[in-house]
Amino acid sequence: MTQKQISHPEGLPNCAAGHRARHIHDERRASAGGGHLVECCCRSTSKKADADAALAEWRRINRPARSPRAVPTAPGNVVQFKLGLAEQLPKLQRAAGGNHGRG
């Protein structure tokens, strides 16, 4: 068998879906498709020549999602006026007819 599972005493981080990860070392040479990879039942890294590179890629693709940035709000003692070109008052409609009050 050319593939061996490598144990890590500290354990590997789970994938984003919560599956357990395992580190596999394919002992064939790189030109024959060998290398290190980290996988779970739903995803895996590409094979790397270096074990640390495979672990770094696993951590990168499975890092926790960042929380969205908070939108700053105005303090309570500041008055903001709605000054925008898009907010225009509706135009007054004129009465139908040709003379418009001229007689």
User: Residue 21 above 60 pLDDT?
Assistant: yes
User: Residue 57 above 90 pLDDT?
Assistant: yes
Q: For residue 92, name the pLDDT band (cuts at 50, 70, 90).
A: low
Instruction: Please report, as a single letter, which amino acid is at residue 73.
Output: T
> What does pTM read for this prediction?
0.57
What's residue 97's pLDDT?
59
Segments making up each domain of the chain, as ranges: 3-61
Spatial contact of 49 and 37, defined as CB atoms under 8 Å apart: no
What's residue 23's pLDDT?
92
User: Residue 87 above 70 pLDDT?
Assistant: no
**DSSP letter (8 states) at residue 45:** P
